[in-house]
Chains A and B, each alone.
Chain A
Amino acid sequence: MRLPVKRKALTMGVVLILLTNAIVIGGALYNRSGEPVAQLVLTDL
C-alpha cells in the first residue's frame, strides 16, 4: 500500500515560487519603467 501522490501540492509549490518571483521582478521592472526623475553622473575625479 502506497500513500497517495499529492500532485496538487506540487502544483501549488511551483505556482507559489513562480508567483513570488513574478511579483518581485514585476515590482522591480515597474519601478524602472518610465523616465528617471533625477540622474547622478559619477566620475573618477
Chain B
Amino acid sequence: MGIDSKSKAQKRADRIAAFKEELAELGVQGVVKLTESQEASIDSHHRQLLAEYSDTFDIDIGHRERQFSLGMKVASFLGALALALSVFFLFYRYWGLFPTVLQVGVLIAAPLLALVATWYVTEREKTGYFAGLLALLTFACFVLDISVLGVIYNITPSDRAFIAWGLLAFLLAYHCDSRLLLAAGIICLGGLLATRVSVFYGLYWLDFYMRPENFLPVAIVLFLASFYLPHRGHSGFQPIYRVFALLGFFIPVLILSYAGALSYALFDEDLIEMIYRIIGFAASAGLIALGIRLGLNDVVNTANAFFVLFLYTQLFDWWWHWMPKFLFFLLVGLIAVLLLFVLKRLRDLSRMDVSGGRP
C-alpha cells in the first residue's frame, strides 16, 4: 500500500477526510456531481484504506479520536516521568539498607527488565503509548544505573557514558518511534562530540561548555544526518535532527557575538564578536531562504526566531543605553511591524510556489 509509518498513514487519512468534506461542499454548490457508482467506488476504496491503516497503525479517524490521542501522549509522557522518579526515590529511600552486591544487582536488572518489558509491549500493543512510556523508563533506569555505579565505586567522571546512553536512546527511539528519546540520543551523542572537541583543544571534558565553538561540529553533523540518515517509517524524525542542528549552531553563535573571549580564535575580542554577529544574521537569513526553497517549515521557523533574536539583541546593544525608553520601544514596535510585512511577503511567495505561480 506504499505507506510505512503511522504519520504517513495519518496524513493520508486526513486527506481523505478533507476530500470527502470538499466533495460534499462542491456537490452542494453544484460545481460537480459524481455518479452513484463513482461515489460508491471511492467510498469503498477509502473505507478499505482507513480500516487497513487503523488496523496496522492505530491512526485517529476523526477529531474526537485525535483529542483523545493527544491526551494519551501527555499521559504517556507524565507517566514515564513519574515512574522514573518513583524508581529513583525508591532506590534513594532504601538504598543504604542494601549490601553492595544487591545494589549492583538491582541497578543492572532494572534497565534490563524495563527493556524486555518495552519489547514485549511493542509486539502486543499497536498504539505505541505504553511502549513509549516503558522505553523512557528503560532509558531513565540505564542513566541511573551507570551514574549510581560511578558513585558506589567512586569512578572518575567520564564523557564515555554518553556513548552508551546515546546508543540506547537511539535504539529505543527507532524501535518505539519516540521523538523524545531521539532528542535524548541526539543530546547524549552531540554532547559527546562537543566534549571530544574540547579535549582535542586541551580542555578538561567537563569544561566543554566554556567554549561554545565546541558545538559547531555537532550542528554540522546533525544537519547532514537529517538529510542522509535513512528515516523510512519515522517521518517525524528529520525535523528533530534539523531543529537540534540549528539550536547547536545559533546558540553558540549568539553567545559568541556578545562574548568573544570564549572563542578559540586569537583575534581581538571586538572583531570576533562582529564576525559572529555577521555570521548570525547571514546564516539565519540564508537558512530562511533555504527552508522556503526546500519546503522545510522547521528550518524556516527556527531560523526566523533566531533572526528576530539577533536583530533585537543588536538593537538593544546599539540603542538601549542612550535612547529614551519610549523611543526605543517605539522603534522596536515599528521594526516589528516592518518584519510583519516582510514575513507576509515571504508567506505570499511560498503560497505562490504551492499554487503554481498564482498569487
Chain A contact residues, CB within 8 Å of chain B: 1-3, 5-6, 9-10, 12-14, 16-18, 20-21, 24-25, 27-28, 31
Indicate if the CB atoms of B145 and A9 lie closer than 8 Å. no
Chain B contact residues, CB within 8 Å of chain A: 52, 55-56, 104, 107-108, 111-112, 115-116, 119, 123, 126, 138, 142, 145-146, 149-150, 153, 155, 164, 167-168, 171-172, 174-175
Indicate if the CB atoms of A17 and B150 lie closer than 8 Å. no
Closest B residue by C-beta to A3: B56
Residues of B within 8 A of A17 (CB): 108, 111-112, 115, 142, 145, 168
Residues of A within 8 A of B171 (CB): 9, 12-13, 16
Tell me the dominant secondary structure on chain A's binding face.
helix
Indicate if the CB atoms of B108 and A21 lie closer than 8 Å. yes
Residues of A within 8 A of B175 (CB): 6, 9
Contact residue among A6, A13, A14, A25 (Cβ-Cβ distance under 8 Å from B149)? A25
Known A24-B153, A25-B104, A25-B153; judge A13-B168 contact (CB<8 A). Answer: yes
Contact residue among B115, B145, B149 (Cβ-Cβ distance under 8 Å from A10)? B115
A13 to B69 CA separation, bound complex (whole angstroms): 28
A31 to B156 CA separation, bound complex (whole angstroms): 11
Closest A residue by C-beta to B152: A28
Known A24-B146, A24-B149, A28-B155; judge A16-B112 contact (CB<8 A). Answer: no
